[in-house]
């Protein structure tokens, strides 16, 4: 197919369903197909969907196919980004629309889908001329107004997801703060009657107990504050881009740390109150590792997705952005 393409005109390309195949490939994110076809016939980038008058570039944006988007960006963009479709929508209007198929192309969770949508809008906004920001479509809507309207339900879903997650984690963090504060006051072995100092103050394992207790208390407090910050947020569209994800990442990370250090505190207290009873203490310590590992394993995938989506997810790189 690629060998024959260079010798075909637009009528032959249409009759042979080459353009139709390209449109489907762009919508479905078939990167290899799009790459090879454009190598064989670079002019294919100028064709598009006749029913809507949308270019391949518009379709890649609408269906959130970032790999295809990068490939198409290597072509000259001046003519493409100035085109409008049959409804008077510019390329920025199209980036403001929410296509249901976008749910399949992002991290799970409505909040991070909303984050991805804001990222798309910001990336497209960075390559269009300034006057496009204020241009209106056939319905009299500017891109930002269209974005707000089309993402209204997604914002509500994202807010609900964030609040439910934060509420659950807040309960756990508050419980850990309470336990660790109580453990710091009532140390194992009690205090000496004459001086009030802890009985096992000079034991090395006692220092492990105090340090891990303090770390658990501080990290749980930090986690609690982060989740409270999420619960009291105004949930504006821009909050989903950086503010809310950062709070969730810090909150979950410190919560995992607080649980781990809480278990270290528990194990250290066993060593203090059961000296020489290694047959009992060691198996309990091994079992204490299980809940920490389980919680970290269950939350790791979500935490990893959030970090990648927030800090390492760029739809365009600099070379693609400037059409090199």
Residue 79 lies in a domain: yes
Which tokens go with 295? 């919680």
pLDDT band at 96 (very low <50, low <70, confident <90, very high): very high
Do 131 and 234 belong together in one domain?
Answer: no
Span of 181-185, 288-292, 317-321 with lowest mean pLDDT: 317-321
pLDDT higher than 80, residue 62 = yes
pLDDT band at 72 (very low <50, low <70, confident <90, very high): confident
Please give the residue range of the domain that contains residue 301: 159-311
Identify whether the C-beta of residue 139 lies closer than 8 Å to the C-beta of residue 86: no
Q: Which of these three, 115, 150, 185, is where a domain ends?
A: 150
Residue 318 lies in a domain: no
pLDDT, mean of residues 91-95: 92
Distance (Å, rounded) from C-alpha 16 to C-alpha 8?
A: 10
Which of the pair, 100 or 123, is modelled with greater confidence? Answer: 123
Do 165 and 283 belong together in one domain?
Answer: yes
What's the DSSP call for residue 191?
B
Distance (Å, rounded) from C-alpha 55 to C-alpha 50?
A: 9
Helix (H, G, I), strand (E, B) or coil at 295: helix
Residue 317 lies in a domain: no
Which tokens go with 282? 């060691």
pLDDT at residue 19, as a whole number: 85
pLDDT at residue 79, as a whole number: 61
Distance (Å, rounded) from C-alpha 114 to C-alpha 244?
A: 11
Please report, rounded to a whole number, the percentage of residues in the chain having pLDDT higher than 70.
89
Identify whether the C-beta of residue 102 lies closer than 8 Å to the C-beta of residue 94: no
Q: What are phi and psi of 48, to 5 degrees?
A: -165, -155
Do 130 and 173 belong together in one domain?
Answer: no
Do 104 and 178 belong together in one domain?
Answer: no
Do 187 and 289 belong together in one domain?
Answer: yes
Span of 92-106, 170-184, 263-277 with lowest mean pLDDT: 92-106
Residues β-bridged to residue 191: 198
pLDDT at residue 70, as a whole number: 85
Do 183 and 306 belong together in one domain?
Answer: yes
Do 130 and 13 belong together in one domain?
Answer: yes
pLDDT higher than 60, residue 153 = yes
Residue 280 lies in a domain: yes
pLDDT band at 322 (very low <50, low <70, confident <90, very high): very low
What's the DSSP call for residue 88?
-
pLDDT at residue 319, as a whole number: 45
Q: Which of these three, 150, 184, 215, is where a domain ends?
A: 150
Do 121 and 192 belong together in one domain?
Answer: no
pLDDT band at 103 (very low <50, low <70, confident <90, very high): low
pLDDT band at 184 (very low <50, low <70, confident <90, very high): confident
Residue 176 lies in a domain: yes
User: Domain with 85 in it: what CATH number?
Assistant: 1.25.40.20
Query: In Å, how far are 226, 242, 254, 310 from 167, measured between CA atoms?
Result: 11, 20, 15, 22
Distance (Å, rounded) from C-alpha 149 to C-alpha 302?
A: 28
pLDDT higher than 80, residue 101 = no
Q: What is the pLDDT of residues 113-144, one digit of tens each?
A: 899 899 999 988 888 888 888 899 999 999 99
Identify whether the C-beta of residue 176 lies closer than 8 Å to the C-beta of residue 220: yes
Which tokens go with 50? 């006749």
Please report, rounded to a whole number, the percentage of residues in the chain having pLDDT higher than 90.
34
What's the DSSP call for residue 43?
G
Do 72 and 164 belong together in one domain?
Answer: no
pLDDT at residue 318, as a whole number: 46
Q: Which of these three, 150, 179, 201, is where a domain ends?
A: 150
Distance (Å, rounded) from C-alpha 301 to C-alpha 319?
A: 30
Distance (Å, rounded) from C-alpha 101 to C-alpha 117?
A: 12
Distance (Å, rounded) from C-alpha 143 to C-alpha 155?
A: 17
Query: In Å, how far are 60, 139, 147, 152, 286 from 114, measured between CA atoms?
Result: 18, 24, 11, 10, 41
Spatial CB neighbours of 280, under 8 Å, sequence gap ≥ 6: 274
pLDDT, mean of residues 309-323: 60
What's the DSSP call for residue 86?
T
Distance (Å, rounded) from C-alpha 223 to C-alpha 240?
A: 19
Do 231 and 296 belong together in one domain?
Answer: yes
pLDDT higher than 60, residue 323 = no
Number of domains in the chain: 2
Q: What is the pLDDT of residues 17-28, one digit of tens each?
A: 888 889 999 998
pLDDT at residue 106, as a whole number: 55
pLDDT band at 314 (very low <50, low <70, confident <90, very high): low
Do 131 and 164 belong together in one domain?
Answer: no
Residue 324 lies in a domain: no
pLDDT at residue 83, as a whole number: 80
Residue 320 lies in a domain: no
Helix (H, G, I), strand (E, B) or coil at 54: strand
Residue 40 lies in a domain: yes
Do 175 and 118 belong together in one domain?
Answer: no
């Amino acid at each position: 197919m690629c060998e024959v393409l260079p010798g075909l005109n637009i009528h032959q390309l249409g009759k042979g369903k080459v353009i139709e195949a390209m449109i489907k490939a762009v919508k479905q994110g078939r990167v290899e197909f799009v790459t090879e076809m454009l190598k064989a016939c670079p002019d294919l980038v100028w064709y598009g969907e006749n029913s809507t008058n949308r270019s391949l570039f518009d379709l890649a944006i609408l269906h959130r196919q970032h790999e295809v988007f990068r490939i198409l960006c290597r072509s000259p963009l001046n003519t493409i980004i100035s085109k409008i479709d049959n409804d008077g929508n510019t390329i920025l209007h199209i980036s403001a629309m929410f296509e249901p198929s976008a749910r399949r192309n992002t991290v799970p969770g409505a909040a991070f889908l909303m984050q991805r949508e804001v990222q798309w809008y910001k990336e497209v906004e960075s390559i269009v001329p300034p006057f496009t920001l204020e241009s209106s479509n056939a319905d009299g809507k500017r891109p930002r107004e269209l974005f707000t309207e089309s993402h209204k339900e997604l914002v509500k879903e994202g807010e609900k997801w964030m609040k439910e997650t934060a509420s659950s984690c807040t309960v756990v963090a508050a419980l850990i703060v309470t336990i660790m504060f109580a453990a710091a006051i009532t140390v194992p072995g009690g205090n000496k009657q004459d001086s009030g100092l802890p009985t096992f103050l000079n034991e090395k394992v006692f220092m492990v107990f105090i340090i891990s207790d303090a770390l658990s208390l501080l990290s749980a407090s930090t986690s609690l504050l982060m989740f409270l910050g999420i619960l009291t947020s105004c949930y504006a569209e821009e909050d989903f881009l950086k503010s809310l994800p950062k709070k969730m990442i810090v909150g979950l990370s410190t919560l995992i740390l607080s649980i781990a250090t809480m278990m270290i505190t528990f194990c250290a207290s066993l060593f203090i109150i059961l000296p020489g009873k290694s047959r009992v203490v060691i198996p309990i310590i091994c079992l204490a590792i299980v809940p920490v590992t389980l919680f970290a394993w269950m939350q790791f995938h979500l935490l990893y997705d959030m970090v990648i989506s927030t800090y390492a997810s760029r739809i365009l790189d600099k070379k693609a952005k400037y059409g090199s």
